[in-house]
């Protein structure tokens, strides 16, 4: 079945450590996104990528980094510079230009202690 896979579902890290969240899709979508979700805040865009080896900052990119070396993969690194990293992280993808709607993974809940 086609879809988006995020791993792990739950992740615990100590403060000051970098952590990488995985996102893989087999939908052959060009565009991929990372959103952060906090209670009562909706979804806020961290980074997005329209094509391999290209990505753009979203509204809250500070303290995060991404790479897009393969069409299928868009990992997100939460660095120690992110002041409040505990949140629910959602990865999404969409067909570039023609459809627009985003398909979401199941999310990763990151807790930093």
Partner 1 sequence: AQSVTQLDSQVPVFEEAPVELRCNYSSSVSVYLFWYVQYPNQGLQLLLKYLSGSTLVKGINGFEAEFNKSQTSFHLRKPSVHISDTAEYFCAVMAGWSQGNLIFGKGTKLSVKP
Which stretches of the chain bind partner 1, using CB under 8 A? 4, 6, 31, 33, 35, 40-45, 48, 50, 56, 58, 90, 92, 94, 96-97, 100-107, 109
Nearer to partner 1, 13 or 44 (CB): 44
Q: Of 41 and 84, which CB lies nearer to partner 1 in the complex structure? A: 41
Shortest distance, position 80 Cβ to partner 1, whole Å: 26
Residue 64 burial (CB count, 10 A): 21
Q: In terms of CB distance, is 1 or 15 closer to partner 1?
A: 1
Element (H, E) at 12: strand 10-13
Taking the complex as a whole, how short is the minimal distance between the CB of residue 66 and partner 1, in angstroms? Answer: 12
CA 64-10-36 angle, to 5 degrees, is 35
Going from the C-alpha of 82 to that of each of 77, 90, 103, the distances in angstroms are: 10, 17, 26
- Nearest approach in angstroms of CB 14 to partner 1 is 23
Q: Which residues pair with 54 in a beta bridge?
A: 51
């Amino acid at each position: 079945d086609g879809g988006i896979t995020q791993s792990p579902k739950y992740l615990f890290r100590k403060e000051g450590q970098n952590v990488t969240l995985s996102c893989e899709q087999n939908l052959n979508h060009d565009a991929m996104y990372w959103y952060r979700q906090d209670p009562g805040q909706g979804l806020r865009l961290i980074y997005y990528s329209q094509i391999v080896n290209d990505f753009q900052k979203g509204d809250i990119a500070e303290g995060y980094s991404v790479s897009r070396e393969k069409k299928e993969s868009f990992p997100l690194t939460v660095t120690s510079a992110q002041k409040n990293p505990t949140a629910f992280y959602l990865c999404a993808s969409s067909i570039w230009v023609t459809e627009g709607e985003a398909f979401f993974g199941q999310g990763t809940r990151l807790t930093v202690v």
